[in-house]
Amino acid sequence: MKFRKGTNIVLQPGRQKNIGMGCILAIFVALGVFLCLMMPQHKGGILLMIGFSLAVIMGGAAIESSSGARITLTKRFLSGGTLRRKTIPWDRMGDVWEGDETIEWESTDADPITCQTPWHEIGRECAHNGQHVSMRLAIDWIEALRDAESESEREALLRKFRRGAPKTLTPLNQLSAKDRAKADELLSEIRNFRGTGRAQRIVEIQQLFRNKGWQPPKVNLLTPRTVIGCAAFIGACFIIAGILLGKIK
């Protein structure tokens, strides 16, 4: 199906992922060569192991990067999936949420249609201009299009989203009541977030603020726990290096 230019958004895996997969391929090839040189008597087994691992990794990456795994937003429907694409009209669109490295949504039908599309942590990009899109931003776009009351309103939203991030950032105290409530919700998440992945989440939320044209919050990523963890890791590295060099008995 073809769409008029400027009326749809296609979210595809970012180029960073392709670069990452290229690095993984190079590492596996180098590892295979090294092991074959060190243990030539096991060359067959080594090549089989490396080949199988690469086939699994690259096969999964190929599926996630295929045209079938693209997410398409139009004024009439949302489409996504992996091997089996699913299309849901906006008037039957239900909840959308963040899964485990996936973005998921379902219809409001009596027998709901659910869709799960891979979403790598480095995000996706718009096919028309290469703009980086985080999962949070994609969910905001989907919810806005779902809640729009007409096709013309959705088309206006799509054109707005396609333009990319605003160049001028608006201070939080100048936002509308609706936007300020959303910003406060995200700021509360930053303050209350605990555990691993906090730094990544903060960076993602800051990028979401910029994409929306809001002044991003200034957050100190170096918490006491982070500093202690880094110090312990560096200390352990020195101890191990000392042992290996025979400096510590």
Mean pLDDT by 10 residues, the chain (249 residues): 64 67 73 77 76 70 62 92 85 91 89 85 78 86 93 92 82 87 85 72 80 78 58 71 55
Number of C-beta neighbours around residue 84 at 10 A = 7
Cα torsion angle, 100, 96, 139, 159, sign? positive
Query: Cβ atoms within 10 A of the Cβ of 245, count?
Result: 8
Please give the pLDDT value at position 2.
43
Q: Tell if the pTM clears 0.85, that is, is over it.
A: no
User: Which tokens belong to 118?
Assistant: 């891979």
> Tell me, what's the pLDDT at 44?
77
CA distances from 246 to 233, 238, 242 (A): 20, 12, 6
Task: Write down the pLDDT at residue 244.
Answer: 57
pLDDT at residue number 247: 47
Give the long-range contacts of residues 108-114, CB within 8 A, separation 24 or more: 113/86, 113/88, 114/86
